[in-house]
Amino acid sequence: MTAQRFRYHHRVFIAPPWPEIYEQDSERRQSYQEAERTYESMVTTYTAYGYELVHLPLTSVAKRARFVTDSLR
């Protein structure tokens, strides 16, 4: 299977849906409920393929960036 042959890095950052800031617009067409289902599907799929998921914290962009940077060290 292609997903097993062409691997990403073993650690994958994933952003959970965040209801307090979620908005639909011309770029984000999913409803919040669809976004939740997509997120759960991604978690299930990445986990099934053995990836280590790192959930981004629900915080400012600057703090998320620092979290990612710190996690990569």
**pLDDT tens string 16-52:** 999 998 888 888 889 999 999 999 999 999 999 999 9
- State the residue range of the domain holding 22: 2-71
Say what the pTM is: 0.81
Q: Give the CA distances from residue 42 to residues 18, 29, 63, 70, in Å, rounded to whole numbers and listed in that order.
A: 16, 18, 23, 23
How many angstroms separate the CA atoms of 9 and 31, rounded? 30
| pLDDT band with cut points at 50, 70 and 90 for residue 9 | confident
Looking at the structure of the chain, the number of domains it has is 1
How many angstroms separate the CA atoms of 68 and 43, rounded? 18
